[in-house]
Structure 1
Amino acid sequence: MKYLWQRFLLICGVMSWLSVAHADLEIVITEGLDDARPVAVVPFAWQGSTAEPPQDIGNIIARDLERSGRFRPLSLMNLPERPTRAGDVNLSKWRTLGIEAVVVGRITETAPGQYQVGFELVDVFKGKGQGAGNLTLSGGELISGAGNVIEARQHLVQNAGLRMHAHRIADIVYEKLTGVRGAFATYIAYVNVDHSDSRYPFKLYMADSDDYNPRLMAQSREPIMSPAWSRDSKKLAYVSFEGGRSQIVVQELATGNRQTVASFAGINGAPSWSPDGTKMAMTLSYEGNAEVYIYDLATRTTKRITVSSAAETDPMFAPDGKHLYYTSDRGGRPQIYRTHLASGQVERVTFEGTYNSEPRFNGDPNKMVFVNQTDGQYRVSIMDLRTKTMQILTDTQLDQSPTLAPNGSMVIYATIYQGRQMLAAVSTDGRFKARLQARKGEVRAPAWSPFLDF
């Protein structure tokens, strides 16, 4: 337990909690992919009662694709043309630039606050000459035909949903070009602290995955920690210290209604939802030592999972719900263990490095992300649980609180940069890195939502 507390105090000692007025984060790409695929997103045509559309959908899509690290969108100044429909795309012009795919679209105001949004994703290199539905002009240039259209959709969207709809289009484009479901139409939650606000210095926000539309979910004069999304993304669990003692709270996002699910004597911390959403793993100490428990949300009963004289914390259900992973210093230093819930069998998982903690999963039960200490540096790492091979993903300092995109492509985590705490992102192959710098102050404790149902 000594090492867990040393880690906690070390992190707290270097944090300078400042305000984040709007929780806006500036994404700065620090390491991109040399083989990022060249694509283009043409500004969507607008037909409506105002000079400009309510949202620049094309720009939102392009920025989503860029921050995935997988794509390199062509700058607007270099677009060879600005078609609005697939049939107007001159393939020859795009092929000359090496562009693989082009997104074109339209926004039409159908009523006040209501819009028809349509788009097509065009494969520039599919087909040769007049094949695959292409049309050849007299000058020998190729115009896109039906055979080049990878995807075409249109939807009726309300004004408040335009930006999220742009993320949905980016998800579709990403999936069609990579075969992996996109994770742009998701949310992130995080905590900021502003001690200049003497009334409510601690605030919990949720925002779109690109940090637009930040919404204040909770505020307190006491700390807020460890936000965790329910599996349907309709609730957030987190640790509150209101009243001077820790408690685990579940808050409904739509109504703001809160329910305290754990307020035992001692530690109430590190909530984690089960895959089916009916239970929650957590760390409690009401029986004397910090141990891992499972709380049944229906019966409101707890079941103790670990029995040790050491400290056990950071519980996380495996995606199949059959194992529970957690951090324990029962071997003298913090390492990650797992317990088979049916048999109670315990197995140590990590062996490399002097410290391993905060196990995290997405839908892949064979890939675990966690924080590893090697040579005195705390860094986000990933392990293939089948081969037990570990890869350090980051080169930042004092990394903590990793959270995975629901498609497993990216990790957001808290770190220290130039003496300030901020969020950072890294792809799960370690090749793409970015800082998510708060324009004001510092942020911590990120939590990425599961996929959203629309």
Structure 2
Amino acid sequence: MTLFSFPARCLGLLVSLCCAAAFSSAAWAQFRVEVTGVGMTQLPVLVTPFKGEAQAPQKIASIVQANLSRTGQFKPLPTGNLSLDEMSRPDWSALRSLSAEALLAGSVTRLADGRFDVRARLWDAVKGQEKADFRDTVGAADLRLSAHRLSDWVYQQLTGTPGVFTSRIAYVTKSSGRYSLWVADSDGEGARSAITSPEPIISPSWSPSGAQLAYVSFENRKPVVYIHELASGQRRELANFKGSNSAPAWAPDGRSIVATLSRDGGSQLWRVGLSGGEPQRLTTGSINTEPAFSPDGQTLFFVSDRGGNPQIYKMPAQGGPAERVTFSGTYNISPAVSPDGRWLAYVSRMGPGFKLHLMDLVSGQVSALTDTAFDERPSFAPNSRMLVYATQQGGEALMTTTLDGRVKARLAGQGGDLREPHWGPVRP
């Protein structure tokens, strides 16, 4: 028995469809970034190859350039034959002829103990002045993380807003009859399997600290919510009540989860404390599912059919009267609230397809962000500037998009199927 007659791609919402969902046999453990589209205003940035990176396991400059490109806010420029590092004295007239407004150059040096010293300098190419210096010392295994740290640093220097490149994403695949929960860098690279199972795994959800993942597993022949500690690999059951237990969403304080439980009949929202105790029922009547917290933890957005068709509603996080939020379209699911509280992303049925939409929660204005037909489970970047979602575009794909929908990046691999991405917090 399904909650609603939703599409098979909406695995996190439909428990019964989760059991029957068909995944292809290839898991996407690694991705390739393909950026398309042009932002309205882009800052021309020149990122030169780092001195010594040819002998390093990671190409720092390429990672930084790809990170900046995905945001839609920067226009990477070709470097030609330029050879610079953080100690160079740039030829400003030559750089201005390339229309560069910012310049990043640096070096990667292997130390005697096997670690790598990463150094970089950022210049204002218009004024011909140094802006700031960066330095990081890491082991070989953390060179990619260092490149993401550098990307965050450059992004904040140039925009005044924190970057998100050191964050991670979680998603689910199936390969050779086994389901896997993956954790990858924000660009999709460096994916590692957190857990595998012969039974479906759905609805991964990051804890506010980024140290844990909640997810739903069917290994006990029914949906059960688990908490997984990423550092140790240890996990425990959080919600294994009578009936189904699904769609976990972390409270911003990290001390409880709201999930969809059918323990008393029907699908309702319940708050479950991580330290135990009796769950608190938050909704009654109709079907209520897919909870999503506002960043202050005071409001819950969720999907309900109380009006006849699936729509998104909101109510106080402790329960109470619900207010309808979505009115355009007759079928709206998968709410996600931006960390700054301004935006609501969701999936809306448009004819036979399902497209990603964005609502300004202040004005109520709604815009469609995609031209694909089977979008699934949007999730915001920690700085609220981008979204990740799954879709079908020449095959299964994990995508990021800017909030205006103009710049999209396909994180593509060797082929295969993936589902239900969720964007985690920035790592310290």
Shorter-chain-normalised TM-score: which range? over 0.9
Larger Rg: 1
Query: Using the alignment, how far apart are the partners of 2:86 and 2:9 within structure 1?
Result: 56
Equivalent position amino acid for 1:178 in 2: T
In the alignment, does 2:419 pair up with 1:438? no
Q: Which residue of 2 aligns with 1:136?
A: none
Distance (Å, rounded) in 2 between the aligned partners of 1:307 and 1:16: 32
Answering whether residue 226 of structure 2 is matched by residue 257 of structure 1, we say no
The aligned amino acid for 2:56 is P
Report the AA paired with residue 61 of structure 1: V
1:83 maps onto 2:68 in alignment? no
Matched, 1:231 2:212: no
CA shift for structure 1 position 35: 3.7
Alignment-derived partner of residue 140 in structure 1: none
The change in CA–CA distance for 1:343 and 1:351 in structure 2 (over 3 A counts) is same
Tell me how far 1:71 sits from its aligned partner: 1.4
Aligned mate of 1:243, from 220, 235, 256? 220
- Comparing 283-292 with 355-364, greater Cα deviation is found at 355-364
- The 5-angstrom pairing of residues 33-432 of structure 1 reads 33=39, 35-46=41-52, 52-76=55-79, 78-79=80-81, 81-85=82-86, 87-126=88-127, 144=128, 148-194=129-175, 197-198=176-177, 201-308=178-285, 310-342=286-318, 344-418=320-394, 420-432=395-407
Asked if 1:5 is matched to 2:8, the reply is no
Q: How far apart, CA to CA, are the structure 2 residues paired with 1:432 and 1:86?
A: 34
Contact 2:332 2:346 in 1 (8 A): yes
Contact 1:316-1:325 at 8 Å conserved across structures: yes
Q: Which residue of 2 aligns with 1:133?
A: none
Inter-CA distance 348–257: structure 2 relative to 1 (3 Å threshold): same
Contact kept? 2:28, 2:413, Cα under 8 Å? no
Residue 286 of structure 1 and its aligned partner are, at CA, apart by 0.6
Gaps of 5+ in 1: 127-143
Which secondary structure does the structure 2 equivalent of 1:55 belong to? coil
Q: Deviations over 1:262-281 (max 9, x none)?
A: 11121110011011100101
In structure 2, distance between residues paired with 1:11 and 1:248:
18
Contact 2:226–2:239 (8 Å) recurs in 1:
yes
Taking the aligned partners of 1:342 and 1:414, their CA distance within structure 2 comes to: 31
Q: CA 1:436–1:212 in 2, change beyond 3 Å: closer, same or farther?
A: closer
Q: Check the 8 A contact 2:379/2:421 in 1, yes or no.
A: yes
What letter corresponds to residue 287 of structure 1 in structure 2?
D
Aligned-pair identity in percent equals 37
**2:27–2:418 CA contact under 8 A, matched in 1:** no
- Three-state SS of the structure 2 residue aligned to 1:111 is coil
Greater CA drift, 311-320 or 361-370: 361-370
Query: Does the CA contact (< 8 Å) of 1:24 and 1:211 recur in 2?
Result: yes
- 1:27 corresponds, among 28, 33, 38, to 33
Distance 2:311 2:267 in 1: 15
Cα separation, 1, equivalents of 2:234 and 2:425: 21
Instruction: Please say if residues 282 and 318 of structure 2, whose CA atoms lie closer than 8 Å, have aligned partners that are also in contact.
Output: no
CA distance in structure 2 between the partners assigned to 1:386 and 1:440 by the alignment: 40
Distance of 1:70 and 1:25 partners within structure 2:
22
Q: Verify the 8 A CA contact 2:86 2:119 in the aligned structure 1.
A: no
The alignment yields a C-alpha RMSD, in angstroms, of 2.0
Cα displacement string for residues 396-436 of structure 1 (whole angstroms, at most 9, x for unaligned residues):
11211111111111111111224x32222211121112322
Counterpart residue number, 1:448: 423
Q: Deviations over 1:278-311 (max 9, x none)?
A: 0101000010010011111123431111111x11
Q: Work out the number of aligned pairs and report it.
A: 421
8 A contact 1:11–1:398 mirrored in 2: no
CA 1:317/1:424 → structure 2, altered by over 3 Å: closer, same or farther? Answer: same
Q: What is the CA distance between 1:52 and its match in structure 2? A: 0.8
1:86, 1:122 within 8 Å by CA — same for their partners in 2?
A: no
Secondary structure at the counterpart of residue 7 of structure 1: coil
Aligned with 2:23 (options 6, 17, 22)? 17
Unaligned runs of 5+ in 2: 12-16
Structure 2 counterpart SS, 1:391: strand
Equivalent-residue separation in structure 2 for 1:10 and 1:52 (angstroms): 43
**Offset, 1:54:** 2.4
Q: CA deviation at 1:114?
A: 1.2
Is the 8 Å Cα contact of residues 28 and 417 (structure 2) preserved in structure 1? Answer: no
Superimposed CA distance per residue, residues 76-129 of structure 1 (whole angstroms, 9 cap, x where no aligned partner): 4x25x2121255111111101101111011122222321221111111002xxx
Distance 1:374 1:212 in 2: 32
Q: Displacement, 1:342?
A: 5.0
CA–CA separation in structure 1 for the residues paired with 2:65 and 2:31 = 18
C-alpha separation between the residues in 2 aligned to 1:364 and 1:35?
Answer: 22
Contact 2:4 2:310 in 1 (8 A): no
Report the more deviating stretch, 252-261 or 168-177.
Answer: 168-177
Q: Report the CA distance shift for 1:329/1:343 in structure 2 as closer, same or farther (over 3 A).
A: closer
Q: What is the CA-CA distance between 1:151 and the residue it aligns to?
A: 1.5
Query: In structure 1, how many angstroms separate the alpha carbons of the residues matched to 2:28 and 2:388?
Result: 19
SS of equivalent residue, structure 2 residue 95: helix
Give distance in 2, aligned partners of 1:88 and 1:10: 54
C-alpha distance in structure 1 between counterparts of 2:320 and 2:114, whole Å:
56
Distance in 1 of aligned mates of 2:112 and 2:249: 43
